[in-house]
Structure 1
Amino acid sequence: MNAATAGLGAGMALGFAAYFGGFWAFLLVLVLGAVGLTVGLVVQGDLDLHSRRRQ
Structure 2
Amino acid sequence: MQERYCKCGKRIIVQYSNRKSDNWMVRYWQMGHNFGKTIRTCPHCGRKINIDSLC
Higher relative contact order (CA 8 A, sep 6+): 2
User: Which of the pair has more CA radius of gyration?
Assistant: 1
TM range (shorter): under 0.3
Tell me the TM-score normalised to structure 1 length: 0.21
Q: TM-score, normalised by structure 2?
A: 0.21
- Higher fraction of helix: 1
Structure number with the higher strand fraction is: 2
